[in-house]
Structure 1
Amino acid sequence: MTIQTPASVRSASDVVPPRAGDFAARAADGRDPRRRTPRSAHEGWMAPPTRPDPVALLEEQATTRVPELVPIRHARMLVSPFTFYRGAALLMAADLAGTPVSGITTQICGDAHLSNFGVFGTPERTLIFDMNDFDETLPGPWEWDVKRLATSFEVAGRSRDFTDEQRREINLTVVRGYRERMLQLAEARVLDAWYDRLDADRILDVITAGQSKRTVDKLAKRTDAALAKARTKDSTRAVAKLVEVIDGELRIAADSPLIVPIEQLLPQGRTRDQEEEWMREVLATYQSTLQPQNHPMREYSYVHMARKVVGVGSVGTRAWIVLLRGRDDADPLLLQAKQAEASVLERFLPPSRYENHGERVVRGQRLMQAASDLFLGWRREPGVDGIERDFYIRQLHDWKGSADVDTMNAATAKAYAHICGETLARAHSRAGDRVAIAAYLGRSDRFDHAIAAFARDYADQNDRDYAAFADAVASGRLEAAEPA
């Protein structure tokens, strides 16, 4: 038996659409790979002797980032094995490149850990639960996303001191949620499968199915509080926190090095008028990538911008917040322009078909999400240092909310694992052949147990990598420092 790996099955640079009408043949396309790569082949993880030095990979990744921000990234990764895992997508991609695959390709997230799921507002002003980070998206093996998601629950469960049995049950739940939803989507009417999504008002029903009244009451309280908090996160609140009035004008408040206004980064001799002319051109070009063409963005004008440190894994990439004005100062909008580099997956899979990595992110996000931000677009732009870089642009806050790992108990984690697994299945089903993936998975729990075992073993690897990373910081090889 020859088990397939990405090295032996080179994915296309784009996802091949499923064949029209012939659903039986599509199912056979999913069952046939079981002979080459049984579902049990995904079980477990053991590092090969030639595995690269994880610290060296992180050092290499830092070379394209803002040098003064790299120590902040390292400090945030150093907090715990889970925050390290969030910043170590490249390490896991390198490891996944040698693992078995079915050979079925879809658009994948590339960084499908549990903190990259959450609620946000749709253009129709409905709150939904979906994936919300696509910096690494690329066509690739769907199994990679499932393995990264399941492992994130194992790593987070250890940080919360869940028992071995609790973590195992959570890991099985996330994969079972993925498999069962994929089976349902494969058997659904075509439009029902495409329209399937999880609205916020259905979250509680989904996560409390079959639970005791006591558990339902606890989950209801937590869910209602999280959704209420998410609805307060909009431009109005963001402006109140990030913007001040200076000499009668709105300006993004400095909080160096986390927030640095543009005028503090411009080359000497560049004027404010030049900055504003540059940004008007940027925003005009960016509008051509928006949907629809008759877009409210046309009614906004540029006010100010600043560089802002975001996330854990993204720290050090260039991210800007842009303040815009609508009717007047009481009608503000904050956008985020985030640098898009080559996906960490591109070292191990064919490169993106899109020359602009901002477009790669946006196209992948629109394909995988049930609904996307109205202001989601892309732009290639010479930076203040004159170097061209790719960016994608979106609203800074739009009813966005995510799970708080630090307060999550085992019951909540299991419920959250279920909806994350289902949500990943929805995303993969839109982007690839849901019938083939479902046929490969089947109705038994063989795949569930294989991935749960992988998650356990790979979390051990993450612990070892975290220890090596901490040693590198302690020895001075890597610098880690949060701002005072």
Structure 2
Amino acid sequence: MNRASEIPGHASHLPPGEHRDHLDHREHLSPRERADRGRAARKQVPRSGHAGFAPDMGRPDPLKVIEEQSATRVPELVPIRYGRMAESPFRFYRGAAAIMAGDLATTPSSGLTAQLCGDAHLLNFRLLASPERRLVFDINDFDETLPGPWEWDVKRLATSLVIAGRENGFPERDRADIVCAAVRSYRTHMRTYAGMGNLDVWYARGDVEELRAVTDTQLGKRGRGQFTRAVTKARGRDNLKAFAKLTCLVDGERRFAPDPPLVVRLDDMLPGSGRDIVAGELRDLVNRYGRSLSSDRRHLLHGYRVADMARKVVGVGSVGTRCWILLLLGKDDEDPLILQAKEADRSVLAEHVAPSAYDNQGHRVVAGQRLMQAVGDIFLGWDRVSGLDDRRRDFYVRQLHDWKGIAEPQGMMPRGMRVFGGLCGATLARAHARSGDRIAIAAYLGAGDAFDRALAAFAESYADLNEADHRVLTDAVKSGRLPAQAA
């Protein structure tokens, strides 16, 4: 049985300056040989062998895992993280990627790898804007990205659907149907990509009009209306909307509007000398990170000036990491660009897979995102800062809002979640097909539903464990062991 520690790592003999953060699985192999490799993996790890989950006897204390992450984060924000994770099993799951990474490392692996999202729960699939200003459906969050067993992303997606289904009161039969639909979509799309040429796979993307056709066919009039509203809402979440929501006029100048502790302006955080040092570092970050962009986008960036900066709390699992929002203005004060500079720490997958080829964690995130996403933010880049708090920290930078539309699973009926899960499965297959051996993975999955049914069983078992871990956290909050703050 293959384990993550046995997976081939990254080549250490590459020429200086060249990075390869994934495998050399396709070199000199014919399609037939690649398919044979996938089918041979079934003998080592049957598809039914992925069913169910029982934690190892030596499984780490989940609270210890969470507290170890919190030790490197902004202390005053850690209680917000615990408060958000305590709200529900699903919110706990969103913040527990490190716990699940350790658990997944003990599960069977086919030995086939791909670039992983590392946190492929259902809320990390959403509507996004392409550089051509078209809406597409894609993966959004890559903080944990690294190469690893492709099964891990599929299992994290499947479990998130079960947890969301439980919170909606769906019976187990409906939850199994939802998971099977998502995994079947992953499997059938991977088989489609296996028959396509490399460029065709690279050009594939989930255009909004293709999604509209799916929802029209499978959800009818009600679904069509919901999808139209989601598209309209996503298009409304642009740079100008964020500008209006997050800024205000102060003495005739545009500044971020304080909303502590979620948004705190730098001017309100530190005294004069400390503020000036951090402000200088962040301005330098904007200038230096432009070197990670293409020359045309670097030219565009240099047409803006930094007008204000603030610390922002984002997400659930990311709460406590250092995240800055930067207000840039272009031709005048009504021509904004709002960037988010987010600290990139070591991936939760790192201790379970081969080392990353990138020594900058921001570079790791950006490289993984560019590899997995069909389209990307034109301002996505990375840099390193050493003077913010006398410690070297890696950051990646992107636009704060750019036509992002997020799903609302609490409002879904079983049929709607089944369709949404299918879209997520298809998107994940396309992302894995760009980096992994799509022909071998497709051959391993086959035409039958053995893997689909196995993951439905896995997801139910892991959802049970997630609920138990969530109770451990809430008990720790109630007892006062962990401080929690609602925000």
- Using structure 1 for the length normalisation, give the TM-score: 0.95
2:4 counterpart SS class = coil
Q: Which residue of 2 aligns with 1:444?
A: 448
1:44-76 deviations in Å (ceiling 9; x for gaps): 101121111111111111100101101101111
Structure 1, 83-92 or 12-21: larger mean CA deviation: 12-21
Corresponding letter in the other structure for 2:133? R
Runs of 5+ unmatched residues, structure 1: none
Residues 91-118 of structure 1 show CA distances to partners (whole Å, capped at 9, x for unaligned) of 1001001100011111001000000000
- Report if aligned partners of 1:11, 1:140 keep a CA contact under 8 Å in 2: no
Shift of 1:19: 2.8
2:162 to 146, 154, 169: 154
Question: Where does residue 282 of structure 2 map in the other structure?
Answer: 279
CA displacement at 1:387 relative to structure 2? 1.8
1:165 corresponds to which of 161, 169, 173: 173
Using the alignment, how far apart are the partners of 1:173 and 1:58 within structure 2? 32
Listed one character per residue, the Cα deviations across residues 145-192 of structure 1 (whole Å, up to 9, x for unaligned) are 000000000000000001111101001011000000000000123322
In the superposition, relative to structure 1, how do residues 61 and 271 fare at CA in structure 2: closer, same or farther (>3 Å)?
closer
CA contact (8 A) 1:302 1:323 kept: yes
Deviations 1:207-255 (A, max 9, x none): 444x3xxx31111011100010000111111010111111111111111
Which of 190, 211, 222 is the matching residue for 1:218? Answer: 222
- Residue by residue over 1:428-477, the C-alpha shift from the partner in whole angstroms, topping out at 9 and shown as x without a partner, is 00011111111111111111111111001100111111111111111111
Among 366, 370, 380, the alignment partner of 1:366 is 370
CA distance in 2, matches of 1:304, 1:26: 53
Q: Is contact 2:344–2:362 with CA below 8 Å preserved after alignment?
A: yes
Residue 69 in 1 paired to residue 95 in 2? no
Q: Which runs of 4+ in 1 moved over 6 A?
A: none
1:117 to 121, 125, 136: 125
Aligned partner of 2:208 in structure 1 is 200
Q: In structure 1, what is the equivalent of residue 358 of structure 2?
A: 354
Query: CA, structure 1 residues 322+42, in 2 after alignment: closer, same or farther (shift >3 Å)?
Result: same
Any conservation in 1 of the 2:127–2:137 contact (CA below 8 Å)? yes
Displacement of 1:26 after TM fit? 1.2
> Partner residue of 2:66?
58
Task: Indicate conservation of the 8 Å contact 2:327/2:336, yes or no.
Answer: yes
Q: Which residue of 1 aligns with 2:480?
A: 476
The letter of the residue matching 1:354 is Y
Which secondary structure state, in structure 1, belongs to the residue aligned with residue 273 of structure 2?
coil
* Range with bigger deviation, 17-26 or 225-234: 17-26
Counterpart among 75, 82, 103 of residue 90 in structure 2: 82
Q: Corresponding residue for 1:126?
A: 134
Partner of 2:198: 190
1:383–1:307 distance in 2 versus 1, CA, 3 Å: farther
Is this contact kept in 2: 1:11–1:105, CA < 8 A? Answer: no
Correspondence 1:461 to 2:444: no
Cα deviation for residue 294 of structure 1 reads 4.8
- Answer whether contact 2:382 2:396 (CA < 8 A) is retained: yes
Where 1:255 maps in the other structure, the secondary structure is: coil
Asked whether the equivalents of residues 146 and 347 of structure 2 are also in contact (C-alpha less than 8 Å), the reply is yes
Q: What is the letter of the counterpart of residue 469 of structure 1?
A: L
Give the distance between the partners of 2:174 and 2:106, measured in 1 at CA.
Answer: 29
Q: Is the 8 A contact 1:208 1:415 kept in 2?
A: no
RMSD: 1.5
- In structure 2, list runs of 5 or more residues that go unmatched: 12-20
Residue identity in the other structure for 2:3: T
CA distance in 2: counterparts of 1:275 and 1:194, whole angstroms:
40
Letter in 2 for 1:148: R
Higher alpha-carbon deviation: 353-362 or 245-254? 245-254
Alpha-carbon distance change, 300 to 450 in structure 1, aligned in 2, over 3 angstroms: same
CA contact (8 A) 1:94 1:348 kept: yes
Within 5 Å, give how 1:261-276 maps onto structure 2.
Answer: 261-266=265-270, 268-270=272-274, 272=276
2:4 to 6, 16, 23: 6
Partners of 2:278 and 2:388 within 8 A in 1 = no
Aligned to 1:15: 22
CA deviation after TM superposition for structure 1 residue 385, in Å: 2.0
Question: Is 1:37 the equivalent of 2:55?
Answer: no
- Using the size of structure 2 for normalisation, the TM-score is 0.95
CA, structure 1 residues 443+316, in 2 after alignment: closer, same or farther (shift >3 Å)? same
Helix, strand or coil at the partner of 2:224: helix
Partner in structure 2 of residue 252 of structure 1: 256
Q: Which amino acid aligns with 1:9?
A: I
The alpha-carbon deviation at position 256 of structure 1 amounts to: 1.2
SS, match of residue 236 in structure 1: helix
Identical pairs, percent: 50
What is the CA-CA distance between 1:267 and the residue it aligns to? 5.2
In 2, Cα distance between the equivalents of 1:9 and 1:121? 35
**C-alpha distance in structure 1 between counterparts of 2:265 and 2:229, whole Å:** 34
Shift of 1:424: 0.2
1:396 Cα deviation from its structure 2 partner: 0.4
Q: Which amino acid aligns with 1:289?
A: S
- How far did 1:392 drift? 0.4
- 2:46 alignment partner AA: P
Distance 1:166 1:230 in 2: 29
Q: 1:434 aligns with which of 433, 438, 457?
A: 438
